[in-house]
Structure 1
Amino acid sequence: MAFAGGSFGAPAFAGEGIFGWLYSLDLQPRGKAEVEQRVDMTHRQAVGRYDWNQYRTEIEYGLSDDFQIGAYLNAFSIRAQDNYLSDEVCATTPCTAGFGVPGTASSGGAYRRSGIDGASLEAIWRISNPVTSPVGVGLYVEPTWGKLEDSLEFRLLLQSNFLDDRLVLAANALVEMEREKYDPANGIIRNSMADLLYGASYRFAPRWSAGFEGRLHTDHDGYRFEQHTQTANFIGPNVHYSAERWWLTAAWRHQVGGSCYGGGTADCSLGHVWDSHGRDQIMLKVGYLLN
């Protein structure tokens, strides 16, 4: 729902991203296009240094008012040093933990890598609109092809708006199959995950919103959820600003705890899950309406 002047209705224009990691049902209208830049930073593990940054440039286009497509160009950078796994694995031999860091980097020296990773496609179908229905429902699919990993992601999108659309509650139920291939010495790693993403955003001033979002993450061996290996919880704040033709969102989530099971027990220490996760994750997003 658009606003003008001092009105507090949300959002400033259709398609703006008020959350960091959650997808909402505010889509591009038919014939409208937007370019969006994301920087997703994962920081800090048990010890040492680990910085895993993803850079995604997307163009979104509304095929209809309820069906949006998009295409991403993905890039990355990694900086790691001595980011060991749990003591029982690395008591005598240093080993790295973070996603994107191969086993050949386990000598304890610094590891750096950056470059273009690959591309993703995206499609979102809005089945019901939260502006006109008590609960908005949508379906999302995203295949990714990359140097480090191939993946296929599905989401069920849920959203409800309250207080003349100033308050937005949203949730995404996510499943993803991953084919990690960044470590040739260890071969292909096949994973699957199921997540629940949830959050709220409140427009407290004509161009400003703020709220929180969380993630309940589970990881599994194999493409078909064969063995449960990890559970982790993340939560943190978000803030959003919208101008006439552009918007900016910043979000942070902190890992508040996690557990590992079966073959994944080496990925946990100090009550947290490491592997492809960190203590903190920061998202910066900016969007610009092209027409």
Structure 2
Amino acid sequence: MSIELEPASQLSFRRPLTESIKESLIIRNPTQLPIAFKVKTTAPKQYCVRPNSGLVGPGEELEVQVQMQAMKEDPPADFKCKDKFLVQSIAITAERAQLSPADLWPTVERDAKDQIREKKIRCAFLPPVEHAISQIKEEDEASSTHLSSAASSIRHAQSVGAASPVKFTTTSSTTTVSFSENRNSTASISSSSSSSTDAQALKLELDNARETIQNLQSTIEKLQKEAGTLRQRKPESGASPTVTAVTLKHSQEGLYPITYVAGAALISFIFAVLFF
């Protein structure tokens, strides 16, 4: 059967140590029997413990005040405190309950020394509160900077990876990721492909325009020949002027407007200059 301590392993005293400092030590009894305790220290002149001995009932706890006496001057910042506390405890049976507090421990140490439970607590000197706050802020800033840098790296990797292929190279101890910078070449390929497609479309339109112009020229030549023949032919005697007019009108129905022919020729010339 043993007690529980809080803190369990270290009592901390914060600087400046030129002033008297108090810390609390909680002793808990998790057992079903009363437990007697006694507190010892390696530096009895430096520390005052109240109470330094006592009794803790079943399921109860007791607060012990540990007061460190003021020092003449603060130890160096890298000073390691070697002071320790020893908390001894033993369960109180019906037989031991009959003993007075003054006789309890001498009797236990003489007759039941192997039943005494011991727990050690070391002492530590902490930096001043201002220094601790400053150190916490520095650690927070360093952590924030590290997180921000990591987030920036992730965003950069994502932006590069969205436009470039990712190549994984595995070695015996590490795996590295390298990104190929192919954005310029990709843009060039896209531009070339687009220009090629446009040129093909324009060439097809130009071929169609040439074919149309050729058809128009053939039609014009045919109509010109028919018009010349009609001008040379005289109207037969007795023929009705109305019939002759109808015949001329019918022969001219297939003619295209001269503006259309000129416009088609101009478009053909422009396409030939730009692309060929």
TM-score by length of 1: 0.20
Task: Point out the structure with the larger strand share.
Answer: 1
Larger relative contact order (CA 8 Å, sep ≥ 6): 1
TM-score by length of 2: 0.21
Flag the structure with larger Rg. 2
Task: Point out the structure with the larger helix share.
Answer: 2
